[in-house]
Structure 1
Amino acid sequence: MGFRRVSDIDFDRLTGDRAFHPSPPAWEDEVLYFLMLDRFADGDDTTPLLTEADRDSAWRTAESKQQWQRAGTEWAGGTLAGLRGRLGYLSRLGVTAVWISPILKQAPRTNSYHGYATQNFLEVDPHFGRADELRDLVAEAHGRGIRVILDVVLNHAGDVFAYEEGDVRWDGRTHAVAGFRDADRAPTLPFGPVDPAAGPDAAVWPAELQNPGTFTAKGPISNWDWHPEYLEGDFEGLKDIALGSGPADGYRPSPALRALTRVYQYWIAFADLDGFRVDTVKHMDPGAARYFASAVHEFAQSLGKENFYLIAEITGSREFAYRTLEQVGMDAALGLADVQDQMEWLVKGFRDPREYFGLFRDSLQLGKDSHTWFRNRVVTAFDDHDQVRKGTSKARFAADDLGRKLGVAAIAFNAATLGIPCLYYGSEQGLDGSGPSDRYLREAMFGGEFGAFRSRGAHCFDENSRTYAQVSRILALRRRLPALRRGRQYLRPISGDGVNFGYPQLFGGEMRSVLAWSRLFAGAEVVAAINTDPDHPRTAWVTIDVDLQPAGGKLTCLFSTDPGQEGSQLPIEPRNGKAVEVTVPAAGFVVYG
């Protein structure tokens, strides 16, 4: 066992004369890639590449299907060393920041492969590797131009104690505790300071978290939107930590919050991390989140990390999320169901595009004088690891035929619109998990017993696949064009006849159309468009900026999913102000400038 107490850490020795990796000047320039570490890469170079014959191979009998499904609830075998071995794959794809699911030591004898059930906040879980492997991973990632963001949990620990009553629920009362769990998961230890002789798998560590009052002990949440239940209750078996009390401006952090803040400062310095994704911010007191954000930002700045990024998971309405973000002082919001839901169904042709673009046009309602405020305050995505918004009908974007055809268009739309784009691992290979629970969204890319596409024993790191190749080209374009990263954003009216213009809209409940938008930056306009028709190219007149574009000028195709279009030019004509006639390949993406 390493450190037992936070107070054992010598921060002066840890930071010393070291030179730390600087923060990026602008996070909107980055492309994030979120991966479940247990499901990404295991470091086995002998595993064969998945073929068409491997797809659905684990579902050929009822027995093998059950075995595959059961494997999805257990540890699969992904490691830090495995991820390190795939950094080249990510770099060639165009990823510039990898967001890793929690890696700290989990409650023993549980299948908490996801990492959100921490038992020891001062150690890396042995399933994932060792602490020095985390440090080596980060160092190599930095050498490849990739920053590392670690998923961290403050709100709760794992199932480290048991209640005396068998089935408790939150009712506002503190419930009696039987004791901390020992190494065999039995609640035989006192609910207080524990003798280190009980071993590293017992109770909770660091020892500061064993003090009385660390846990709210009010039972699991039943109503996830009821105040104060969602602040005080457990996440099922995951035990809620009492972080402090008082209003945000005069918050009194608990000893537990102070200890955890110091723990995560330790991991910043130890591994040279670049940011945190902070789990379940909605379920923390605003004052607790503000205390953590302030302390982490200041510590990181003392190491020369002037823009250490804190991405807050804030579920709920957009207005609630942005108010919370501003109140707590974190840098960007994640987990906005309306962004994810709107993006997915817009690209699939079942949402009015004005609804999605409207999410980024209402900055004045948030007290911001320009909607470019959103460019580095929102992490945008269309797939994730739990899809809370979908209840018990989970499905990746590519789970249906329409999603498989439009996968490149979805990634292009994510990369070329406002916000910090985030790819969920495997999207670049068209992973298609679907089912009634989270496990089906968390396929093992490296194969194993829970391989992607309902297979086993075959990996999916195919750099020759069409989707991977197109995404690599799209992300390279994003690096070249500042407007796609930082520019103001406008949904553009279109026309089929060049006379009657309007925004794309649904007909008969769907939209099979060119969807075009402009990004304006430093006096230049870039026009981008996707085609939501998966089977046919579409042509439309697209309105462009009347002041920036010269009369009689031309726009040049800078990118197309059909490379034969690249370099071609479109004459600017006086239609609806000014417009160009754009053709977009089936399920494709084009950019003109």
Structure 2
Amino acid sequence: MRVFMVLLALLALPCQGLEVAPKHWWVGMQNPDVQLLLHAPNTAQRQWQLRPYDGVKLMRQHHLDFDNYQFLSVHIGAQARPGTLQFVADDGAQFDYQLKARAHDSKQRQGFSSDDVIYLINPDRFANGNVHNDNHPSMIEKVDRQARDGRRGGDLQGITERLDYLKRMGFTQLWLTPARENNMATGSYHGYAMTNLYAIDPRMGGNEAYFDMVAQAAERGIGVIMDMVPNHIGANHPWVADKPSRDWINNGGEFLANNHRRQTVMDPHSSVYDRTRFNDAWFVPAMPDLNQRVDELSTYLIQHSIWWIEQAGLSGIRVDTNSYSDKAFMARWSQAIMAEYPNFSIVGEEWTTNPGIIAYWQRGKHNQDGFSTGINSMMDFPLQAALVKALNEEPGWHTGWVRVYQSLGNDFMYANADDLLVFADNHDMSRIYTQLGQSVNKTKLAMTLMLTIRGIPQVYYGTEVLLDNTPSDAHGDIRIEFPGGFSGHQADAITGQGLSAEQTQMQGYLRTLLQLRKQHSALRQGRMVHFAPKDNVYLYARIDNEQRIVVILNKGGKQHLALAPYTEILQGAKQAKNLLSGEVLRLNQTLAIGAEQAMILALQ
């Protein structure tokens, strides 16, 4: 063996064209094993050796169906130290591989929680900080600001330059729709058809711009959540034409339309046909569906997620099309991440108004089929739908605020309703101002609810200045340019220049809500007590050991609210301070509240 290694050392040359993933790894991880995926023409014909390195062993090498890929299984023991591993092959090829030291307290990083408020951004539509990266010679699609689904040129520098604004407003977490490479011919701005899972799109500024943005956000107390898509890739991903195995992509690499019957995952009566048509069929033709039942692919997807968390310093992950992936893989994926980062946060997207389906995917839920996941948060689509209906319809036995009341009443289904992500709108639906018929007062009521109830609030960019996609509900129009983020804009949301009186008012109102939530622990962590709505009024309280705060939402005309039904939360309080106006109110027999107004009362 020693003679063999000496000969390899003499013959070894850097392996041209060899791609290795993950790009590097770390010592001291909870899981001591890492799988290296090697990609180069006919690389599977090579036999590799690892030059001696204390604490590190090459345990196995193998390939699947095709010779352009090879897998090396490496064990990194507890005694291993940061440094450079050297791999040499029997044909003289070699490559170096870096083992890095982890950042201080990386394992103990804190995820997002109900103490946070998340700001959701489509990077291409938010702000253009560097016009020189609008187009890139290796990227197919170019900037076209006139096309509905065209690229606008927004980038990570544009976001970084506006972090101070986000801090002033009161946001503490930033969720970007995917910024990774999306080298598709059309519609690439949305980011969900990725073509390189380890690279930030160069039109966004590349990896270093992303790392810089995360670091600068952290300096301002803002965490960053990465949008990940384990279910599928873009049709221009190299795996489509050159894959490691025949079954790497579902349905033999050919498009099969998904039935979108998400309940088949947990339905005890579902047919194999329907379950397969949901799990294995493709979301759309441009997004080939990955087969996570292939163990090597499952490991690849887990490792790439951990790589981004560790390398970038993330505080959370948002999982796109959560239920479309193989559910056994999703359990393995989420549990592997949480084993490395016990205080981390993951939020899953399951777009349904059925709370039972959403509850199935949350960590701690005892499911009939024994399924268990590591995902702590899910997006509360039932509440979002109930809110819009409540504000747009006349009150009745089953309508108006009762819809919100009943939606929150379903919290018994969830393992932890306080960990649900609550939102009035997002990047896949019309903006809340649009959904509410361009009513400023209704929009204020919606945002008051979302920032004062249980859960983790998420606000879509531009909501604070009433961005509107009327009359179109096309995605390209929903994801409108942020005012002041691009050349030619007359209005600027950061400076306030050119905003209408209503936009300025809304921006100030949302800032006030964000600051109140920050200042009052009960609004973030207090238990919730709510009362059946009556006469267009919905009243609830948030209560902790320090505070009792009452929220009153009136979507009707001016009223005098009788206080007798609410004695259990008033507990003899004689007065309350309206945190929105600063006015101190006497709590006698009735309380006056204006038409389409909200009150946030701190009981005294």
TM over 0.5: yes
Equivalent residues in 2 for 1:440-519, closer than 5 Å:
440-446=477-483, 458-463=491-496, 465-492=504-531, 503-504=533-534, 513-519=536-542
Matched residue, 1:123:
199
Structure 2 residue corresponding to 1:375, chosen from 418, 422, 426: 418
CA contact (8 A) 2:539 2:553 kept: yes
Q: Find out whether 1:133 has 2:209 as its counterpart.
A: yes
Matched residue, 1:324:
361
TM-score w.r.t. structure 1 length?
A: 0.73
Tell me the number of residue pairs that the alignment of Structure 1 and Structure 2 aligns. 471
Matched residue, 2:449:
413
CA contact (8 A) 1:213 1:242 kept: yes
Matched residue, 1:362:
410
Find the residue that maps to 1:530 and give its secondary structure: strand
**In structure 2, do the counterparts of structure 1 residues 90 and 347 end up closer, same or farther at CA, with 3 Å as the change threshold?**
farther
Range moving further from structure 2, 220-229 or 538-547? 538-547
Matched residue, 2:26:
11
Which runs of no fewer than 5 residues in structure 1 stay unpaired?
Answer: 46-66, 162-178, 182-188, 193-209, 245-252, 388-393, 494-502, 506-512, 574-579
The separation in 2 between residues aligned to 1:588 and 1:3, in whole angstroms, is 61
The separation in 2 between residues aligned to 1:121 and 1:18, in whole angstroms, is 22
Matched residue, 2:289:
240
TM-score w.r.t. structure 2 length?
A: 0.72
**In structure 2, do the counterparts of structure 1 residues 231 and 70 end up closer, same or farther at CA, with 3 Å as the change threshold?**
farther
**In structure 2, do the counterparts of structure 1 residues 344 and 399 end up closer, same or farther at CA, with 3 Å as the change threshold?**
closer
The separation in 2 between residues aligned to 1:363 and 1:436, in whole angstroms, is 30
Which runs of no fewer than 5 residues in structure 2 stay unpaired?
Answer: 1-15, 28-81, 83-98, 132-142, 262-273, 364-371
The separation in 2 between residues aligned to 1:89 and 1:542, in whole angstroms, is 40
Equivalent residues in 2 for 1:399-438, closer than 5 Å:
401-434=437-470, 435-438=472-475
Matched residue, 1:227:
275
Q: Find out whether 1:30 has 2:60 as its counterpart.
A: no
CA contact (8 A) 1:282 1:315 kept: no
**In structure 2, do the counterparts of structure 1 residues 357 and 26 end up closer, same or farther at CA, with 3 Å as the change threshold?**
farther
The separation in 2 between residues aligned to 1:131 and 1:544, in whole angstroms, is 57
The sequence identity of aligned pairs, in percent, is 21
Matched residue, 2:368:
none
Structure 2 residue corresponding to 1:546, chosen from 537, 550, 567: 567
The separation in 2 between residues aligned to 1:477 and 1:457, in whole angstroms, is 31
The separation in 2 between residues aligned to 1:72 and 1:460, in whole angstroms, is 22
The separation in 2 between residues aligned to 1:2 and 1:100, in whole angstroms, is 32
Find the residue that maps to 1:33 and give its secondary structure: strand
What displacement does 1:135 show?
A: 1.1
What displacement does 1:20 show?
A: 5.1
Matched residue, 2:378:
333
CA contact (8 A) 2:102 2:310 kept: no
What displacement does 1:582 show?
A: 4.1
The separation in 1 between residues aligned to 2:339 and 2:18, in whole angstroms, is 24
**In structure 2, do the counterparts of structure 1 residues 527 and 331 end up closer, same or farther at CA, with 3 Å as the change threshold?**
same
Matched residue, 1:591:
601
Range moving further from structure 2, 143-152 or 18-27? 18-27
Matched residue, 1:186:
none
What displacement does 1:276 show?
A: 0.3
Find the residue that maps to 1:29 and give its secondary structure: coil
Q: Which has the higher contact order (CA 8 A, sep 6+)?
A: 1
The separation in 2 between residues aligned to 1:318 and 1:410, in whole angstroms, is 20
Q: Find out whether 1:346 has 2:383 as its counterpart.
A: no
The separation in 2 between residues aligned to 1:144 and 1:408, in whole angstroms, is 27
Q: Find out whether 1:262 has 2:303 as its counterpart.
A: yes
Matched residue, 1:556:
576
Larger Cα-atom Rg: 2
The Cα offsets for residues 326-373 of structure 1, whole Å up to 9 and x where unpaired, read as 432201111x4322111223234554323322223234445x5xxxx3
CA contact (8 A) 1:243 1:285 kept: yes
The separation in 2 between residues aligned to 1:146 and 1:448, in whole angstroms, is 20
Find the residue that maps to 1:27 and give its secondary structure: coil
The separation in 1 between residues aligned to 2:575 and 2:361, in whole angstroms, is 42
Structure 2 residue corresponding to 1:521, chosen from 544, 564, 567: 544
- Counterpart code for 1:332: S
CA contact (8 A) 1:525 1:545 kept: no
Find the residue that maps to 1:592 and give its secondary structure: strand
CA contact (8 A) 1:527 1:544 kept: no
The separation in 2 between residues aligned to 1:446 and 1:131, in whole angstroms, is 26
The separation in 2 between residues aligned to 1:235 and 1:37, in whole angstroms, is 23
- Counterpart code for 2:562: W
What displacement does 1:218 show?
A: 4.7
What displacement does 1:87 show?
A: 0.7
The separation in 2 between residues aligned to 1:26 and 1:396, in whole angstroms, is 24
Equivalent residues in 2 for 1:28-427, closer than 5 Å:
28-43=114-129, 70-160=146-236, 191-192=242-243, 210-216=244-250, 217-225=253-261, 226-236=274-284, 237-244=286-293, 254-299=295-340, 301=341, 306-316=342-352, 317-326=354-363, 327-334=372-379, 336-350=380-394, 351-366=399-414, 373-376=416-419, 378-387=420-429, 394=430, 396-398=432-434, 401-427=437-463
CA RMSD of aligned residues (A): 3.0
The Cα offsets for residues 379-419 of structure 1, whole Å up to 9 and x where unpaired, read as 111111112xxxxxx45434665533322221111000111
The Cα offsets for residues 464-508 of structure 1, whole Å up to 9 and x where unpaired, read as 811111111111111121111122223235xxxxxxxxx325xxx
